[in-house]
Copies of this chain bind each other. A is one copy, B any other.
Amino acid sequence: MHLILNHMVQYSRRLDDSFGALADPTRRGILTRLGRGDAAISELADEFDMTLTGIKKHVRVLEAAGLVVTRKIGRVRQCRLGSQRLDDETAWIAEYRRMLESRLDSLGEFLERTREEQ
């Protein structure tokens, strides 16, 4: 029981981290940029017209969510996409959409019945 609870808490924290990481246009931009190829922090700062400190903050959030991996090569910190495939996030949203659909269906049936009764 404790193990299951622990697993659920970790699952929930991962969703917090990843949805939180995606809730910012610069962070989504960095992910799209890294999809075209790896980049140093300084390159990202240039391309997004941000200070090194600003970019580093965003990269740290992406790193905590497993979306980006960084590696120091000499004096340069290189960024690449992590292995987080957003499987759980995809599943959560798909489940939400199914639930919403069934809510709308029952609302539709209710309206239908109400109309027939009139």
Query: Are B25 and A23 in contact (CB-based, < 8 A)?
Result: no
A-B contact pairs, 12 of them (CB 8 A): A16-B25, A19-B19, A20-B23, A22-B93, A35-B100, A35-B102, A81-B99, A81-B103, A86-B97, A89-B93, A90-B90, A90-B97
Interface of A is mostly: helix
Copies in the assembly, this chain = 2
- The interface residues of chain B lying within 8 Å CB-to-CB of A24 are 16
A19-B20, A20-B19, A93-B90 given as contacts; is B35 within 8 A of A99 (CB)? yes
Asked whether A48 is an interface residue with its Cβ less than 8 Å from the other chain, the reply is no
- The interface residues of chain B lying within 8 Å CB-to-CB of A20 are 19-20, 23
A5 to nearest B CB, angstroms?
Answer: 13
CA distance A87 to B31 in the complex (A): 20
Instruction: From B23, B80, B100, give the contact of A81 (CB < 8 A).
Output: B100
In chain A, positions 1-23 with a C-beta closer than 8 Å to chain B are: 12, 15-17, 19-20, 22-23
Q: Which residue on B lies nearest to A11, using beta carbons?
A: B25
